Each structure stands twice: as structure tokens, then as C-alpha cells.
Structure 1
Amino acid sequence: MSEKQPVEVDARGLSCPMPLLKARKAVATAEPGQPVVVYATDRGAESDFRAYSERAGHRLASLEWQGDVLRIELIRGE
């Protein structure tokens, strides 16, 4: 079985709630099990994505700051 290619969302420079709204739209188009990678610079995005993934049933695979950019990887749930 081949690995599913991630859907990427560039939300750098956007303020809350736009990174999460763009990510939710991308997750809606992804297949179950497909990763969605979001790049954001808004400092509030970290807590927003932790809460969203828990509430929406998606797995938060990674969440890490790379300099001034937060890289978030969600795996779409069923």
C-alpha cells in the first residue's frame, strides 16, 4: 500500500482564526488517514490546533516550531 501524499496549507502571515479555517477546509478535502501539513506563524495556532484535533477526531502527528514557523501535521480521522 502506498503512503498518501500530504495536503499542504501555507497559513504563514495569517492571524487567528484564518490558519485553522484554512486547515479545516483542507482536512475536509483529504481522505481518511491522509496527512495535512500546515505552516503558520500565528502564536495562537499551537493551542488552536491542539484543541481542534482533539475535538474533531484527527490525530495530531506533530507540532513543532521551526524558527518563526509552526509546522503542524494532522492525520485526518475517519
Structure 2
Amino acid sequence: METLDVRGLKCPLPVLKANKALRGMAPGAELLVLATDPAAEKDFPAFAEETGHGLVSLAKEDEVLRVVLRRREG
């Protein structure tokens, strides 16, 4: 699983950087995103629904949101 650290970045950068990272990954591969932007908690589920990537998990630990995305097939 690859990790993308976007802590400290504000909307829309966390989602944009995750999208770019996912495009370079194999279908079915997973990406762990570490984010601190308060909007990311709503942005990532919307991003997954819009793009077809899987939202595997979303959990907040202290001030860090940990999002696991699975690259869509095809």
C-alpha cells in the first residue's frame, strides 16, 4: 500500500493529489492518505463516489484523517 501525506494542505489539494497518485497505480491497488484539512472528511467520500474509486476506510486519529482508497478497475 502506498502512502500519500497531505497533512497541512487545504482543500482541494488533498483530493487532487490523491487523484493524481491513484492514476499512477494499478487497478485494485490501495492508497493510504494522511490529511489534516477538516473538509477532507467529507471530500474523500464524495471523491470516491464521483470517480468510482473505492473508499475502503476513513478514520480520524487525533487531528489526522486516515483514508484508504482502492483504485477502480479498468
Q: Tell me which interval the TM-score lies in, with the shorter structure as reference length.
A: over 0.9
> Match of 1:18?
13
The answer on whether the counterparts of 1:7 and 1:26 sit within 8 Å (CA) in structure 2 is: no
- In 2, Cα distance between the equivalents of 1:15 and 1:43? 8
Cα deviation code 1:38-77 (max 9, x no counterpart):
0000000011100010111111000000110000000111
- In 2, Cα distance between the equivalents of 1:13 and 1:35? 22
Aligned pair 1:75/2:73, yes or no?
Answer: no
Instruction: Find runs of 4+ consecutive structure 1 residues off by over 6 angstroms.
Output: none
1:54 is aligned, of 26, 49, 52, to 49
- In 1, Cα distance between the equivalents of 2:42 and 2:34? 14
For the pair shown, which has the larger CA radius of gyration, 1 or 2?
A: 1
Structure 2 residues without counterparts, runs of 5 or longer: none
> Match of 2:2?
7
1:35 is aligned, of 30, 35, 39, to 30
Give the TM-score, by structure 2 length: 0.95
> Match of 1:45?
40
- Once the two structures are aligned, what percentage of the paired residues are identical? 48
Q: CA deviation at 1:8?
A: 1.0
Q: Give 2:42's aligned amino acid.
A: S
